[in-house]
Structure 1
């Protein structure tokens, strides 16, 4: 309100000064008055003018400003003014008293002011009498409280969807995911998700993170579709020194194993980082441990994350550049479910599906002859042979491989003849020896820094890949026809009976 009347007050001060100066000049020049007499007379007149004009104007401006600034929504100004003036008898009573005092001053228009005072006083008395005559308003009973959650009728909104990828943390790990406390785990997880999306060839679902008081304070758990698939214990105030296989000393700390790959490790103080690296350890912080574990689990279970919606999005993206190819494939040649199962089979064997154009072209080529996802997957692997070998061996000119002795190959081929490519019907002793020898050969390859690749005939590849997946997850099982012509093959060892 003070800001509202600031201009009016400034104008009043300027008028006061102008009247004083102008009056003194007029008195001295027009009426031959002395400076003292002119200043006394016209100063009194100016003060009187200020009392008569400026003070009521200031009060009126202040009142209007208060009314305007108190209005919080669009209202009628006249109605609001009448409501505030005549809504309370006290305001009219005060106005009647002031008008009565002014009406008693000699020289004032007494009759007019006294009549106005009588009108305001009568209106105040009538409002007061009317307010006393109104019946007392009895407070209505409060509305009944809303029904409790236990009595509310259930709806489909109460069925919460399951998180595709979930991360639960104990209460001591909450600072790792709270950016306000300097936690960088969220940024690490976003980076992991971005990299895996590029590597695998489809959009990896978002990771939903929540705290779980049922977990130990330093524990975390990774869930896929609501089912726990991995967990670990970390210490945010320490760093993890991982033994890569060859170190030159021991470290003091909390001994453990890397939750992602199971390697021996030690939780050490941050001050011992340089010493641990000098001994040959790989040192990472707690956020990196969780992010690496999550990345490993997503890669291992990538085929479980790929569903109909993701495959349809891949086809829609490919249709922007090759619309005819996608239109001919599904649903004309293959149903979407068959395409989904084929792509899931590729991801289960760690084959990325980045090259969707080649995959769809191969499916369209062989869909007329077979709609078996396993056979379609074999054809796609042949088409992606260069990519598969590249991901395994990199730019190396030759590929080190492990093979089976001819006698064992023939035995496996005969055992699969009547089983429709199911698990080979071998005696338990032979199956156990073969698994052990393949695992030993794969371990020797890893110790020498080379990939473990088992090269078998095409008719045995899928069965042996499933047979070895749980025993030696790091072993790649390739068929002869998947090796590109420009790659040399180097035989490392042959496994027999």
Structure 2
């Protein structure tokens, strides 16, 4: 057995022996001082712990100190009743508190006992009980959180073991505190009983046995009783306070003093208010200003110093943050952050800052929210967050739009002007700065406020700069939507569909197709501006035909045919005739004969002469329809649609190519041109 173990064992046995053996007065004085010192040590430790588990031995210490205090009470009671004295410590406490007035000392002692018993002890007991209950109730949730972090790789097995051990120790600690707090309550009750015994028993013994006069007996035993009660109850009060601090202490990065100074004295403005109120009390109430002014001045000075310290800390924090940023830039790991590319970026010169600054009336952020909603409704695509930043390398009124770091569009804006687009005939009275509308490349004019109303009366389409930017951004997102849909974004769409159609998703993924296969099909649809919002129909079709082929081109054709109603409504209005450019039989036959089969799938191997001739004839028909103000649409058979699309998408990407199977039977079709070889 170690020496420290032997000391503790002898100490506990000595406490028990104190209840039986008589103790001389000089030794009792030493033990009473030790009791007071021990209580002060426990209180200071409780004030300096950051969390309850740092003083996990406290429940056992509470029991030992309570037992030690009861042993001292018994020893002093034996001396008081047997010899009419209890040492200099008890006598000093009794005389000092009573101050020559026994009634006052007795009342002070009773108040002390009541405060400890009703306020501190009862409160600590309740808090310990509730803390134990909530700690036990929270254990399953904490265990699940640890398991989740371990499975996610956020912590290792050793860290998980340590956190589980901490949870178990917390439960044990609060359970032990709940039981130990009952000893404090019992100690307070025992103190009151011992007080009555010493007072009544000593009074009787003093008169009957020692032959003391009534007044002498009352004075002697009252002082000794009050002294004994104070000597025992003051350490009890300190330890009860320590128990309350331990069980009410929340986890923190500092001790009690740090938390008080940080949290209670972090609001200098409030101290100014308190100082003002105290000053008003001294000026407008019977309270003399000599009493209130010093405190008000002290609060004012403290508030000034606190405000200066807070300002200094803010400056130091900013400097520290700047230094950290500089260090991060210098560190080799900072290069990794440069590899991150934003899906969509909108950069502008400093002259266009009012567009994005809400304090200057800019509503660009609100318009971008509406753009994302519009794209979700029209394309079924969740557009990523658009990064908005100013760029001093651009011209003051210039802006650029980037997709994955590459510029896909841009333009210049005049904030104090309006963009006016001609209705087809020009009005010579409408003058302005000639430009091109950035979204569609139409000729337009930048006009001022005075010309705006006249231009609208002349039939011009007049829009403000934010609308120009919003339209341009919307069109570019629609044009490049297929570049924004990766596998991660596809997984998000699949998870969203799974919430309402779990059977459909589980049947398709992963047994029939992978997320990558589905992403390829969705990208091909978006590339031809076909909405993927109807994910149920798309997944139903892929589930039907995915077992027969994994070719994304073929699967896309099946999906397009399933979306025939949507495609028909996209290119025709209710009761409207669809005017199309049809593909002649010779060209269809030529394309069908040029389809080659390989291990990677089918591809079109059309000779260059035929390809050039086809380009020229399709371009002639398209230009003729555009001059007539009509939207050109190429119509062909389902067998060659995807191959014809592959041919013309390089030079005529915006020209839709449809097949007969993608149109509803009730739609009226009118051929306005034929492409043939």
Mark yes or no: TM-score above 0.5. yes
Matched length: 383
Q: Which whole-Å CA distance do the structure 1 matches of 2:550 and 2:445 have between them?
A: 51
- Change in CA separation of 1:64 and 1:294 when aligned onto 2, cut-off 3 Å: closer
**TM-score of the aligned structures, taking structure 2 as reference length:** 0.53
Q: Which residue does 1:443 correspond to in 2?
A: 623
Question: Which secondary structure state, in structure 2, belongs to the residue aligned with residue 472 of structure 1?
Answer: coil
Distance 2:622 2:575 in 1: 19
Cα gap change, 1:292/1:380 in structure 2, threshold over 3 Å: closer, same or farther? Answer: same
- Which residue of structure 1 lines up, in the alignment, with residue 668 of structure 2? 488
Residue pair 2:435, 2:445 contacting (<8 A) in 1 also: yes
Q: How does 1:242-391 map to 2 (within 5 A)?
A: 242-247=421-426, 249=428, 251-391=430-570
Determine the structure 2 residue equivalent to 1:98: none
1:493 shift after superposition: 1.8
Q: Shift of the alpha carbon at 1:208? A: 1.1
* 1:154 lines up with 2:332 in the alignment: yes
Distance (whole Å) between structure 2 residues aligned to residue 272 and residue 200 of structure 1: 37
Contact kept in structure 1, 2:351 and 2:397, CA below 8 Å: yes
* Residue in structure 2 matching 1:463, options 629, 632, 643: 643
Change (3 A) 1:9 1:452: closer
Does residue 425 of the first structure (1) align with residue 611 of the second (2)? Answer: no
Question: What's the C-alpha RMSD, in Å, of the aligned pairs?
Answer: 2.8
- Counterpart contact for 1:256–1:264, Cα < 8 Å: yes
* Cα separation, 2, equivalents of 1:173 and 1:68: 49
| Aligned residue number for residue 4 of structure 1 | 278
Distance in structure 1 (CA, Å) of the matches to 2:282 and 2:673: 103
Rounded Cα–Cα distance in structure 1 between residues aligned with 2:477 and 2:277? 64
Would you say 1:478 and 2:658 are equivalent positions?
yes
Distance 1:478 1:250, change over 3 A: farther
Provide the rounded CA distance (Å) in 1 between the counterparts of 2:605 and 2:427.
45
What's the counterpart of residue 139 of structure 2? none
- In 2, the alpha carbon distance for the partners of 1:7 and 1:363 equals 81
Alignment correspondent of 2:380: 201
Offset of 1:189 from its aligned partner? 2.5
CA 1:397–1:260 in 2, change beyond 3 Å: closer, same or farther? closer
Cα distance change on mapping 1:230 and 1:404 into 2, 3 Å: same
- 5+ residue gaps, structure 2, are 1-274, 304-319
Distance in 2, matches of 1:227 and 1:336, equals 26
8 Å Cα contact 1:246-1:280 kept in structure 2: no
- Report matched runs for 1:159-178 at 5 Å: 159-160=337-338, 161-178=340-357
Distance in 1, matches of 2:560 and 2:494, equals 19
Shift of 1:375: 1.1
State the shift of 1:186 in Å.
2.6
Equivalent of 1:187 in 360, 366, 384:
366
Equivalent residue of 1:459, what SS? coil
Contact residue 581 and residue 673 of structure 2 kept, 8 A: yes
Per-residue CA deviation, residues 18-44 of structure 1 (Å, 9 max, x unaligned), is xxxxxxxxxxxxxxxxxxxxxxxxxxx
Q: 2:614 aligns to what?
A: 434
Change in Cα spacing, 1:364 to 1:2, as seen in structure 2 (3 Å) is: closer
Q: Is the 8 A contact 2:432 2:446 kept in 1?
A: yes
Q: Which residue of 1 aligns with 2:579?
A: 400
Name the SS for the 2:594 alignment partner: helix
* Partner residue, 1:59: 290
**Kept after mapping to 1: 8 A contact 2:281/2:292:** no
Shift of 1:241: 1.6
Gap change, CA 1:273 and 1:319, over 3 Å in 2 = same
Distance 1:272 1:157, change over 3 A: same
Match of 1:102 in 2: none
Task: Note closer, same or farther for the CA distance 1:184–1:58 as it changes in structure 2 (3 Å cut).
Answer: closer
SS of the aligned residue for 1:422 comes to strand
Distance 2:328 2:368 in 1: 38
Is contact 1:363–1:380 with CA below 8 Å preserved after alignment? yes
Instruction: Tell me: higher relative CO, structure 1 or 2? Use CA pairs within 8 A at least 6 residues apart.
Output: 2
2: distance between equivalents of 1:391 and 1:11?
81
Q: 2:401 maps to what in 1?
A: 222
1:421 Cα deviation (Å)?
A: 4.3
Q: Which residue of 2 aligns with 1:89?
A: none
Aligned equivalents of 2:329, 2:500: Cα separation in 1: 55
Offset, 1:449: 4.5
Q: How far 1:247 moved relative to its partner?
A: 4.1
CA separation of 1:283/1:438 partners in 2, compared to 1, >3 Å: closer, same or farther?
A: same
Other-structure match for 2:243 = none
Q: Structure 1: where are the runs of 5+ without partners?
A: 13-53, 73-142
